[in-house]
Amino acid sequence: MAGLVTKSLNNPEEVRPFKDGMGKLELVNQDAGGVGRATFQPGWQWSQHVKPIAGTESCQAAHMGYVISGQMMVRMDDGQETLIGPGDFMDCPPGHDAWIVGNEPCVMIDWQGFADYAKG
């Protein structure tokens, strides 16, 4: 049985910047997978700022996360849309685009989909 493990997103093991300085992903790795805190700046959109890194038509990462601040619109490839904001939990399958709504950065913790996210 493993012992107690603590890590801090304030001292990440890896930082992945988004294109054009539109945010970053701070990542710590656990045996069960990566846990990340992403900061998305106003004007950020997956199809503009991560698609060139990912090389896919839409985001193919599944996300399970919690929004700390800001708002993000998520549009699935089938057209379904939802707006998420502070206090919202999200379970999002692969096949989506997303963008920031408003003038506040969106900060999100994700414990499922960030291990390979924005990895060039």
pLDDT at 105 over 60: yes
**DSSP code, position 72:** E
Strand pairing of 33-40 and 23-30? antiparallel
**DSSP code, position 48:** H
Query: By three-state DSSP, how is residue 111 classified?
Result: coil
Q: What is the mean pLDDT of the chain?
A: 91
| CA separation, residue 25 to residues 22, 28, 35, 81 (Å) | 11, 10, 10, 23
pLDDT at 104 over 70: yes
Q: What is the pLDDT of residue 57?
A: 94
The contacts of residue 107 (CB under 8 Å, 6+ apart) are 37, 38, 39, 40, 67, 68, 69, 70
**DSSP code, position 62:** -
pLDDT at 1 over 60: no
Question: Please, where are the H alpha helices in the chain?
Answer: 46-49, 51-54
Most confident of 7-21, 39-53, 74-88: 74-88
Q: What is the pLDDT of residue 18?
A: 86
